[in-house]
Structures are given as structure tokens and as C-alpha cells.
């Protein structure tokens, strides 16, 4: 049966690669070539699409905008999720199991549901069209999973560490920031990946809560229109570029990624 | 049951600078309870994995009843293994866990039923047969693991890798007793790997002491204790380990010993006396009270003498810092760290 | 848990930030929605309490019911494909050991790529990729003799959507399952081999029980997310041809954004959320209770 799985893996990898290959060929082709005659390998590749992105301020501003709310989201998520995960993993308290599951239920509300109230809420507090609005809105989805992942890791860190620090006379602050957090580097890396995995790619909320000031890259991509219609080439090039940061993160946390996915707390 | 022979066995991990095991020779009799005793890093787990087939030797042979199994896959070697922690099928109950190997090897259902009942009786698991494995304590789970390893009647050898490790401390002795009893009852060849000498010495018919230098000695527990072939064995076995004193440092030297030799001493082989009466004398540095036996207090006094430090078994009240004499009753004699004989005084 | 945890209600301090944040970004907006759902809002100043009218209207709306049924069909289909496929792919991955590290790492990156592409780009890629005139897939399928066109044929649109979602999200299941598999102590495989178990038995009695936790998470996440799906189908088919691929999120978005009918849109939202909650809870409690029994 192992060989069935092997074949499934190989077939699936091919299945994965083909559209990615297509994206890459589109990125290196002009619009005319893309919508023109079909060819498996582009006969006249061009760097024009990438040049457009790197030279047009709309693109790199959008890139910076996206980056700003993704970074904000990750920071906020980690900031609130780490103490919560620590509490869940180290202590029992009133309502802890219910709270833990309730957290996940927050992720069950479709973004579409929040379109209107978010728009009103963030306009009311004057946060509309700011990166923090998107960051906070995304938190509803990234925080529950962050808490679950971090808790899963932290439960595996033995309390001997806590006790040794106490015996050595360290304060809680010292223990937490200089000992505990570094030990959980992998967990934080994986959580970072998950936050990124949602916040960087989400469209609906990002589009609703941003205006002209903070247009993120996902929105710019939907509006890429040139004289001859949708600018496929530039869009594809932008698509390729937006995947790169994610790949970097995966590569750096790859060893911990596998452990982190084994979120343990369910049963 | 099966006779195991290890001939000139050597193993090196890929990329390692030196051999983990080299030139190993060992013979284990059919139906024998054999312990592989050694400290961590001595290579016991490597040897166990070579026996089970998880690893293949770099050179040398392993023979089961004369048949060369050195390069045979684990499932073809007809062995069973008990691991450091219970390894069971969580979704099944105890009875199904026990029956699983028998079903896979094509035993008839009636035979399976009677065999499961027999093993459950041996291990006192009758009442647990219907229970789900996940609800058992670690001790009970390990008991089921042992049962699963013994379930096939024709298994050649059962390998046990520090089986008491995960068991609750107050249950370890119970599991030890069950293991010994079932080994005797079923006559199974068992190879028990451990770093704990109590486990090894109480369980085994014969013990092999393994260090980084190889198997230093293979003998009965009594012989390992009283006549360790090497100083290394002597100091490893026993609590406290054997003390070694230089003959040259003794105040009184018997005629058939010479100054180049050392004497190996166990606490019960020496006794305290008036300074001047014994073979040597020194100051008492430490006393450890072990408990009472037959109404008398039992302790170990550590005495530093010119010949070396000696632990003496004593029942009297001994004050720290007093000058004490030590009389020898018997000793093991060593030259160049190897045993040359024993001496009665 | 690997150690005992003391009971201490002061731990609530650690949980407080999360609660406040979720309250702000989740509970308050949700309450707003519930508030709107029981009112008729003609403009900012004139609003009337109408009780459960909007709920009744929504549940009776044939277009809502259509979208709901399509949504159910979509979620069921992708779950039925992605969970087994992800599991199979995970079993096929080389487990990390000394010399396989690089292959495994590269495969992990490859699997992660679809998860990191902005969702509208996913839709855009497949838009072109599946085009019968200029797309790699489209041209290939038509070359096999099938007249494939996802823009005009509803069945083809469905199949393309499912294929796209499988491409997009199976990796999540595979990565989760792979993590679960690597966590299994090799001793279990050793013991199973010595017990004479064949490959299928090893899968059924060793791997599957130990993967229970990660599979539950995988199903929960895919169930939730497939139910909420918006961007990718919107970009690929726009909900068409006709209404063939209009699922719940798209219908809601059209209502809420396009028509500014707050009351019914809000009621729809609440019903939508409650259904997801219901399905997740049903699944979770049925599986977890079985484990406790």
C-alpha cells in the first residue's frame, strides 16, 4: 500500500506543479501571447511584466500596504495568543475547555457576514482605510488557530523548565521572556506561517476595509486592467512575486512546520 | 525454544568514527533468561536492534539454532519484542491485542482462544480481557505488551528493551516478578536489556556485562557479583560497587599475594575491628544507614585507608571521624584489572 | 497532557487579551448583525422592529435554498476528495531521517505553495489554465476529444471548481496528516511488523487511530472554509454559468453590498453562521464522544 501512496504523491505533485508552471509562463509572457495562440513553452519570454511591477509605484506601494497589515496582524495575534496559550497549557481554570473550543467557533463566521458591520464599526472608530483595521479584522481568523497551535506546542514543553527557573531564583518575567519563549521558537515560527497564510492572501475583508490610501496588493491585482482588458501578464507576475515571501517563511520554519501541524488539543 | 549464537559481531553506524560494537562473542542457551547489562552508551540497544533485525551487522554473524539470520528481515526471524513503553493497538481491547499476532500467523480460532486464555492467566489479565487498552494503567498496558510478545507459542526469542522504564515505580517489582515467573513457566528464551543491575541480577539465569570495550563477562548473577572478571565489572555491579585496594598499601600482607596486585572487596566481605587487628585501618568518613535486619541496624561505613577507600557493612554504632580497623574475610584478586583468583582470609 | 496542570483562576489574566480582541473584532460586529436582522431599516432614521420576519423570508427564499443546496453539495464533494487524497499524499511522503531531509523539505515547500497564493490569483490562474482555447488544461482535455468549456457548461464549471479547490487546499490536509504521521513512534511500526501485520493492517490499526486528532482538525477546517468560500469561485466562474456555481457567500455578498437591504442580509448572515456552527458541532461531538466511550 505504501507504493499506492507513493504514486498518489507523485501524481499529486504533478497536479500541483502544472498550474504553477502555467502561472510562471504567463508571468514571462506578454498579454498578446497569453490570449493568443496556445503554446506550452512560451516562444518569446519577456521581463516586461516584472519591469512594470518594479517601476510602477502603485505596485510596490500596494506591496508595502499588504506587508504592513500582515505584519501588524501577526504581531497582534502573537501578542494576544501567546499569553492565552500559556494559560491554557499550564493551568486549569473555570470554563477552560469551553473557552478553548469557543475560540475556534469564531473562525466559523464567514467573512461575508462581517462585511457590513466591520465597515460601519471601523468607520465609526475612525480606523477605516488603515492597515490596523485589516489587521484587527483578520485577527478573528488568525488568533483562534494561533492559540490552538501555540498551546499544542507549549503543552509539550515540560514544566521542569518552569521549576528549574523558579529554583534558580528567576522572576516570572525573566523565565517567560528569556527561557520559555526562546524554547518555543519553533511554535512561534509555525504560528507566524499560519497568520501569514491567512492574512496575506485574504481578499474580501482586505478589500472592504481599505480605500485608496492603503490598497493592498490583492486589491490592486483585481483591478489590473489595461487598454486591452485584464492585464494577465502583469497579474501573473504579481502573483509570482506574492508567493515568494510565503516560500521564504516555509523554508525557514520547515523543521518545525511538521510538528506544528500536529495540533494536539482536539480530543 | 532457541539457542542464540553471536559470532565475531561488529557494527558501526554510518558516518561514525569508530565501531559501536566489535568482535562480540556470545552464546545464549535455549530457554535461558539472559540479561544484557550495561551503562547508557555501551551499545546494548545497538546489540538488541541487531538481534531483532532493525540493524544489519557490519561484520560477523547471528545464528538462531545454527541458522544464519544476520541479514534476515525482522518479521522473518520469528521473534517478539517488548519496548520501553507499552506498544499496543489503542483501538482494540486486551483480548484482541493478544490475539492479533495469532490471527495474522494463521492460527485456528479455537487455538487462539485457548492460548489467549493461557497467557492471560499467566499474567493475571483474565479480568481485563474485555477492557479497552486505552483505559489501562501503564503497568497493565506493559503487562499486555508482554502478553502480546509471548502469545505465539513457537516464537524463537523474546527481546525486552528496558521494559520497566515507563511503569509506575511502585509497580516495577510486580512486573519483574511476573516476567520471571512467566519465563520459567513457558521456558521462553528471553534477552533482557537494561542498565539497572537489580533488574538484571534478579531476572537472569546469566548476565552479560557490556561496556564500550565489549562484553566483559558472561556468567551467573552470583559469579558476576562475587567473581567479576574485570575491575570494571566489579565496580559496575553492586551497590555500592566493588572497592579496590592496593595490596602494597596494606599493613599486613598475606604470603601468597604480591604488591602488584589489587584486592576487590564487597561491604559484606569485610568487617570493622580494633585498629591494629585488621589488614588495614583508617578514618571513617561517612555512614549510610540502610535500615534494619533481624532487629539490628544495618549500615555501610566508608573508611579511607592508605590502601584505598573501603565500604564496610556494619551493624554497630560507628561515629564519624573515628579510627577504625578493617578485617578482611574474603576478597577477589586482580592483576592489571583482570581477575586472577579469590582469597579467603 | 504530559504533566498535571494546577487549578488556578488567575490564568484568566492570560486569556483576557484574547477575549477582548475577539470581543472587539468578532462579538460586537456579530451583535450588530443580529441587531439588524430583527429590524426593517429603510434609512438611517427609520427602522422598525420586525422580529423574525427576515428569518422566515430568508428560509423561504428559493434562491437562498438553491445556494444552500449547492453549497452543501460543494462542501461534501471536496471533503470526500480532499481528506482521503491528503492522507494518501502524506503517507507517500518520505519520513524525515538522516538522508531524506532535503527531499522532504522541498516537498513541504511545494505542498505549501498553493496555500500561499492570494485567493484571487488562484481563481485567475485557473481561469486561464482551464480555458479551452489558451489554457494548458483546457487545451489538453479538448485534445482528448471531450468538448470541455467551464464557462458555458454547468457540470464542467462544477468539475473545474472542485479541481481548483482540490489543487488549492488538499495540501493543508496532507501537511496536517504528515505531521501526525511523523509523530508516530517507530516502535509501533516495528511491533506491527513483528506481529505479522500487512500494510493495510498497519494503516488501519496503527496509523489511523493515531491520526485521529489531526484528521478532526483537517475536517473541521475544510468544512468551515469550504462553506465560506467566496473569492476563488467568484473569480473563476462569477457564480455561473447562470447560478450554477453561486454558493452562499457570493449570494450574501451580492445582497449585502449590492442591494443595501440590511435586514434580510443580516438575517441571512446569522442563519449562515449558525449552520456552520451546527455542522462543526455535530461533527466534533460525534467524533470526540466516540473517542471517550
Chain C nearest-CA distance from A237, in A, is: 10
pLDDT of residue A260: 54
Mutate which: A76, A89, A109, vs C, most C CBs within 10 A: A109
Report the residue of chain C nearest B91, measured CA to CA: C209
pLDDT at residue C2 greater than cutoff 50: no
Domain membership of residue B193 as a residue range: 4-236
Say how far apart CA C238 and CA C256 lie, in whole Å.
17
Say whether C89 and A204 touch across the interface (CB within 8 A). no
Does the structure show a pLDDT above 60 at A226? no
pLDDT of B8-32, one tens digit each? 999 998 888 888 888 899 999 999 9
What gap in Å lies between CA B271 and CA B269, rounded to an integer? 7
User: Residue C104 — φ and ψ, nearest 5°?
Assistant: -60, -45
SS3 C138: helix
The pLDDT-based confidence of C182 (bands split at 50, 70, 90) is: confident
Instruction: Clarify whether residues B89 and B170 are in a common domain.
Output: yes
**Residue of chain A nearest C259, judged by CA positions:** A116
The pLDDT value recorded for residue C100 is 58
| Least trusted range by pLDDT, from A42-46, A132-136, B327-331, C107-111 | A42-46
Question: What pLDDT does residue A267 have?
Answer: 34
- pLDDT band for position B48 (cuts 50, 70, 90): very high
Encode pLDDT of A157-178 as tens digits.
Answer: 777 788 888 888 888 888 888 8
Tell me, what's the pLDDT at C293?
A: 35
Q: What pLDDT does residue B209 have? A: 93
Interface contact C194-B89, CB threshold 8 A: no
Q: How many domains does chain B have?
A: 2
In the predicted structure, residue A50 carries a pLDDT above the cut 70: yes
CA Rg value for chain C = 23
| Interface probe with A: pick from C13, C24, C26, C164, most Cβ of A within 10 Å | C26
Q: Is C113 on the interface with B (CB under 8 A)?
A: no
State the average pLDDT over residues A233-237: 85
Mean of the per-residue pLDDT values for chain B?
Answer: 90
**Bridge partners for B219 per DSSP:** B207
pLDDT tens digits, one per residue of B133-153 = 988 999 999 999 999 999 999
CB pair distance less than 8 Å for A112 and C272:
yes
Shared-domain flag, residues B218 and B252: no
Section C183-211 average pLDDT: 90
Please report, rounded to a whole number, the percentage of residues in chain A having pLDDT higher than 70.
92
What's the mean per-residue pLDDT of chain C?
Answer: 84
Q: Which chains have 3+ CB pairs within 8 A of B?
A: C
Highest mean pLDDT among B225-229, C264-268, C284-288: B225-229
Residue whose entry in the numeric block shows the C-alpha cell 512561534: A188
Q: Which domain-ending residue is among B197, B213, B236?
A: B236
Give the class (CATH, top level) of C58-292: mainly alpha
Grade residue A249 by pLDDT with cuts at 50, 70 and 90: confident
The nearest CA of chain A is from the CA of C279 a distance in Å of 10
Confidence of residue B121 (pLDDT cuts 50, 70, 90): very high
| Confidence band, pLDDT 50/70/90 cuts, at residue C163 | very high
> Residue C291 burial by CB count (10 A; 0-12/13-18/19+): exposed, middle or buried?
middle
Whether residues B39 and B144 share a domain: the answer is: yes
Indicate contact of B with A: 3+ CB pairs under 8 A.
no
A16–C182: do the CB atoms touch at under 8 Å?
A: no
pLDDT exceeds cutoff 70 at A185: yes
> Does the structure show a pLDDT above 60 at B155?
yes
Condensed to tens digits (0 to 9), the pLDDT of residues C237-259 reads 888 788 888 888 888 887 776 66
- In sequence order, the 6+-apart residues with CB closer than 8 A to the CB of A250 are A193, A257, C108, C109, C112, C116
Residues of C in contact with A80 (CB under 8 A): 17-18, 21
Report the pLDDT value the prediction gives residue B218, as an integer from 0 to 100.
93
Neighbours of B214 (CB within 10 A): 17
| The three grid cell numbers given for residue A119, joined into one nine-digit string | 465597515
Q: What are phi and psi of C121, to 5 degrees?
A: -70, -35
pLDDT at A35 over 50: yes
Domain boundary residue, one of B236, B268, B292: B236
ipTM greater than 0.90, yes or no?
no
* DSSP symbol at A226: E
Nearest-angstrom CA–CA distance, B265 and B282: 16
Of residues B275 and B57, more confidence is placed in B57
| Chain C residues near residue B87 by CB distance under 8 angstroms | 185, 187-188, 190-191
**What is the reported pLDDT for A238?**
86
Model confidence at A2: pLDDT above 80 = no
Higher pLDDT, C47 or A102: A102
pLDDT given at position A265: 42
pLDDT at A222 over 60: yes
Q: What is the pLDDT of residue C1?
A: 37
Show residues of chain B in contact with C206, CB under 8 Å: 89
> Among partner residues B14, B87, B104, which is closest to C191 by beta-carbon distance?
B87
Tens of pLDDT, residues A114-129: 877 887 778 888 877 7
Same domain, B278 and B178: no
The pLDDT of B207-216, averaged and rounded, is 91
CATH number of the domain where residue B126 is located? 3.40.50.300
Same domain, residue pair B257 and B191: no
Alpha helix segments (H runs only) across B70-108:
94-104
Overall average pLDDT of the C274-289 stretch: 80
A107 contact residues in C (CB cutoff 8 A): 224
Name the C residues in 126-145 with CB < 8 Å from any A CB. Answer: 126, 128-129, 133-137, 139
B33, pLDDT greater than 70: yes
Q: Please indicate whether, in this complex, the C-beta atoms of A92 and C7 are within 8 angstroms of each other.
A: yes
DSSP state of A40: S
Q: How many angstroms separate the CA atoms of B253 and B269, rounded?
A: 17
CA distance B308 to A86: 54
Q: Which of B212, B236, B260 is the last residue of a domain?
A: B236
Report pLDDT for A266. 40
- CATH (one of 3.30.390.50, 3.40.50.1220, 3.30.70.100, 1.10.3720.10) for A57-261: 1.10.3720.10
What pLDDT, on a 0 to 100 scale, did the predictor assign at position C247? 87
Give me the residue from B14, B75, B89 closest to C193, CB to CB: B75
Task: Compare B297 and B152 and report the one with higher pLDDT.
Answer: B152
A-chain residues within 8 Å CB-CB of C134?
A: 34-38
**Residue with more model confidence, B141 or C280:** B141
Give yes or no for residue A156 having a pLDDT over 80: no
For residue A267, CA distances in Å to A95, A264, C210, C214, C288 come to 16, 8, 11, 10, 6
What is the structure's pLDDT at C191? 94
Å from A118 to nearest chain C CA? 6
pLDDT at C178 over 60: yes
Those residues with Cβ within 8 angstroms of residue C212's Cβ, 6 or more apart along the chain or in another chain: A267, C287, C291
Averaged pLDDT, C45-74: 83
Give me the pLDDT at residue C260, please.
63
Considering only the beta carbons, identify the residue of C179, C273, C288 that sits closest to A110: C273
A153: enclosing H helix or E strand: helix A131-155
- Under 8 Å CB pairs connecting chains A and C tally to 311
More reliable by pLDDT, A108 or A156: A108
Instruction: Indicate the pTM of the whole model.
Output: 0.84
- Mean of the pLDDT values across residues A217-234? 71
Contacts of C32 in chain A (CB under 8 A): 117, 120-121
Amino acid at each position: 500500500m505504501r507504493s499506492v501512496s507513493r504514486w498518489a504523491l507523485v501524481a499529486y505533485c504533478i497536479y500541483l506543479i502544472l498550474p504553477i508552471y502555467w502561472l510562471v509562463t504567463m508571468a514571462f509572457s506578454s498579454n498578446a501571447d497569453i490570449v493568443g495562440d496556445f503554446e506550452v513553452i512560451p516562444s518569446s519570454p519577456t521581463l516586461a511584466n516584472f519591469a512594470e511591477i518594479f517601476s510602477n509605484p502603485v505596485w510596490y506601494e500596494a506591496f508595502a500596504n499588504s506587508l504592513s497589515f500582515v505584519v501588524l496582524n501577526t504581531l497582534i495575534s502573537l501578542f494576544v495568543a501567546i499569553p492565552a496559550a500559556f494559560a491554557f497549557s499550564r493551568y486549569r481554570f473555570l470554563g477552560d475547555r469551553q473557552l478553548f473550543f469557543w475560540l475556534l467557533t469564531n473562525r466559523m463566521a464567514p467573512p461575508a457576514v462581517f462585511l457590513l458591520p466591520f465597515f460601519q464599526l471601523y468607520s465609526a472608530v475612525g480606523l477605516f482605510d488603515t492597515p490596523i483595521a485589516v489587521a484587527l479584522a483578520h485577527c478573528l481568523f488568525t488568533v483562534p488557530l494561533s492559540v490552538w497551535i501555540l498551546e499544542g506546542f507549549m503543552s509539550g514543553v515540560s514544566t521542569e523548565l518552569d521549576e528549574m527557573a523558579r529554583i534558580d531564583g528567576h522572576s516570572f518575567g525573566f523565565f517567560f521572556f528569556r527561557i520559555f519563549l526562546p524554547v518555543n521558537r519553533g511554535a512561534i515560527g509555525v504560528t507566524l506561517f499560519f497568520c501569514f497564510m491567512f492574512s496575506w492572501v485574504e481578499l474580501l475583508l482586505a478589500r472592504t476595509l481599505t480605500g485608496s490610501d492603503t490598497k493592498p496588493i490583492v486589491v490592486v491585482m483585481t483591478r489590473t486592467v489595461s487598454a486591452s482588458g485584464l492585464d494577465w501578464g502583469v497579474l501573473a507576475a504579481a502573483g509570482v512575486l506574492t508567493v515568494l515571501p510565503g516560500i521564504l517563511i516555509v523554508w525557514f520554519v520547515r523543521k518545525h512546520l511538521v510538528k506544528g501541524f500536529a495540533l494536539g488539543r482536539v480530543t | 525454544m532457541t539457542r542464540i549464537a553471536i559470532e565475531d559481531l561488529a557494527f558501526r553506524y554510518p558516518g561514525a568514527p569508530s565501531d559501536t560494537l566489535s568482535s562480540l562473542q556470545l552464546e545464549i542457551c535455549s530457554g535461558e533468561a539472559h540479561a544484557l547489562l550495561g551503562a547508557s552508551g555501551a551499545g546494548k540497544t545497538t546489540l538488541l536492534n541487531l538481534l531483532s533485525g532493525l540493524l544489519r551487522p557490519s561484520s560477523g554473524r547471528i545464528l538462531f539454532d545454527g541458522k544464519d539470520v544476520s541479514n534476515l528481515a525482522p518479521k522473518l526471524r520469528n521473534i517478539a519484542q517488548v519496548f520501553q513503553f507499552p506498544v499496543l493497538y489503542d483501538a482494540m481491547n486486551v483480548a484482541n491485542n493478544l490475539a492479533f499476532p495469532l490471527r495474522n500467523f494463521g492460527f485456528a480460532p479455537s487455538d487462539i482462544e485457548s492460548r489467549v486464555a493461557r497467557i492471560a492467566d499467566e499474567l493475571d489479565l483474565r479480568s481485563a480481557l474485555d477492557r479497552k487498552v486505552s483505559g489501562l494503567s501503564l503497568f497493565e498496558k506493559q503487562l499486555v505488551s508482554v502478553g502480546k510478545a509471548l502469545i505465539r507459542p513457537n516464537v524463537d526469542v523474546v527481546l525486552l528493551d528496558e521494559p520497566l522504564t515507563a511503569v509506575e515505580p511502585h509497580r516495577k517489582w510486580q512486573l519483574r516478578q511476573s516476567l520471571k515467573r512467566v519465563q520459567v513457566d513457558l521456558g521462553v528464551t528471553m534477552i533482557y536489556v537494561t542498565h539497572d543491575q537489580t533488574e538484571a541480577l534478579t531476572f537472569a539465569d546469566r548476565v552479560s556485562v557490556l561496556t564500550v570495550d565489549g562484553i566483559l563477562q558472561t556468567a551467573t548473577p552470583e559469579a558476576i557479583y562475587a567473581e567479576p572478571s574485570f575491575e570494571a565489572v566489579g565496580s559496575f555491579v553492586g551497590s555500592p560497587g566493588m572497592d579496590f585496594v592496593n595490596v602494597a598499601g596494606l599493613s599486613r600482607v598475606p604470603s601468597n599475594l604480591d604488591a602488584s596486585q589489587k584486592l576487590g572487596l564487597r561491604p559484606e566481605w569485610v568487617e570493622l575491628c580494633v585498629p591494629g587487628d585488621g589488614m588495614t585501618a583508617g578514618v571513617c568518613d561517612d555512614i549510610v544507614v540502610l535500615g534494619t535486619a533481624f532487629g539490628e541496624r544495618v549500615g555501610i561505613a566508608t573508611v579511607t585507608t592508605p590502601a584505598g577507600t573501603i565500604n564496610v557493612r556494619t551493624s554497630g554504632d560507628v561515629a564519624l571521624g573515628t579510627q577504625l580497623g578493617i578485617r578482611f574475610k574474603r576478597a577477589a584478586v586482580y592483576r592489571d584489572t583482570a581477575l586472577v583468583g579469590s582469597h579467603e582470609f | 497532557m504530559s504533566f498535571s496542570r494546577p487549578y488556578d483562576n488567575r490564568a484568566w489574566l492570560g486569556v483576557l487579551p484574547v477575549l477582548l480582541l475577539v470581543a472587539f473584532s468578532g462579538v460586537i460586529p456579530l451583535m450588530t448583525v443580529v441587531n439588524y436582522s430583527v429590524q426593517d431599516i429603510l434609512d438611517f432614521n427609520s427602522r422598525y422592529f420586525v422580529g423574525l420576519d427576515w428569518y422566515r423570508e430568508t428560509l423561504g427564499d428559493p434562491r437562498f435554498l438553491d445556494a444552500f443546496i449547492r453549497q452543501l453539495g460543494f462542501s461534501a464533494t471536496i471533503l470526500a476528495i480532499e481528506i482521503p487524497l491528503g492522507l494518501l499524499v502524506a503517507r507517500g511522503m518520505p519520513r524525515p531521517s538522516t538522508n531524506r531531509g532535503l527531499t522532504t523539505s522541498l516537498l513541504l515547500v511545494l505542498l505549501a505553495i498553493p496555500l500561499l497564493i492570494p485567493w484571487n490569483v488562484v481563481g485567475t490562474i485557473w481561469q486561464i489554465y482551464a480555458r479551452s482555447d489558451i489554457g494548458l488544461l483546457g487545451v489538453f482535455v479538448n485534445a482528448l476529444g471531450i468538448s470541455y468549456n467551464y464557462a458555458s457548461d454547468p457540470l464542467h464549471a462544477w468539475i473545474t471548481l472542485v479541481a481548483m479547490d482540490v489543487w488549492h487546499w488538499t495540501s493543508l490536509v496532507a501537511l496536517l496528516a504528515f505531521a501526525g504521521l511523523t509523530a508516530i513512534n517507530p516502535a509501533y511500526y516495528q511491533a506491527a511488523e513483528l506481529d505479522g501485520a500487512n500494510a493495510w493492517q498497519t494503516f488501519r490499526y496503527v496509523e489511523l487511530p493515531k491520526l485521529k486528532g489531526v484528521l478532526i482538525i483537517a475536517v473541521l477546517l475544510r468544512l468551515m472554509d469550504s462553506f465560506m468560500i467566496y473569492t476563488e469561485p467568484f473569480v473563476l466562474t462569477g457564480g455561473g454559468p447562470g447560478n450554477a456555481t453561486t454558493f452562499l457567500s457570493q449570494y450574501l455578498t451580492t445582497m449585502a453590498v449590492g442591494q443595501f437591504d440590511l435586514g434580510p442580509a443580516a438575517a441571512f448572515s446569522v442563519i449562515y453562521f449558525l449552520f456552520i456552527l451546527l455542522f462543526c458541532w455535530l461533527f466534533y461531538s460525534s467524533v470526540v464522544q466516540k473517542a471517550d466511550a
